[in-house]
Amino acid sequence: MSGAAIASLASPRRFAAWVLGRGTLVTAFGCIAIAMAFSTAAAYRLAATMHVEDLVFGPGRIDPVNALIGAIGVDRTSVLVYMLQRSFDALVVASAITPLFLWILGSSAMHAAARIRRVRGHPYLPMLILFAYAEVVYQIPTSVAGLVFGGLGGGPGPQIATLVSLVMLVWFAAVAYRGIELHYEVSGDRAVSIFVLGALAFYLLPLILIVGTLVAIVLVAAYLQYF
Q: Which of residues 227 and 49 earns the better pLDDT score?
A: 49
What is the separation, in whole angstroms, between the first and last Cα of the chain? 63
Judge whether residue 26 has pLDDT over 90: yes
pLDDT averaged over the chain?
A: 79
Angstrom distance (rounded) from CA 11 to CA 18: 11
Best CA proximity match to 172, nearest among 33, 31, 40, 43 = 31
pLDDT score recorded for residue 37:
92
- What is the rounded CA–CA span in Å between residue 76 and residue 143? 32
Give CA separation, 176 vs 18, 43, 194, 200, 217, in Å: 13, 25, 10, 14, 35
Q: What is the mean pLDDT of residues 125-152?
A: 88
Reported as a pLDDT band with limits 50, 70 and 90, residue 176 is very high
What does the pLDDT average to over 72-87? 65
Q: How high is the pLDDT of residue 136?
A: 94
pLDDT at residue 55 tops 90: no
Give me the pLDDT at residue 97, please: 82
Model confidence at 3: pLDDT above 60: no
- Asked if pLDDT for residue 179 goes beyond 70, the answer is yes
Residue scoring higher pLDDT (168 or 161) = 168
pLDDT band (50, 70, 90) for residue 38: very high
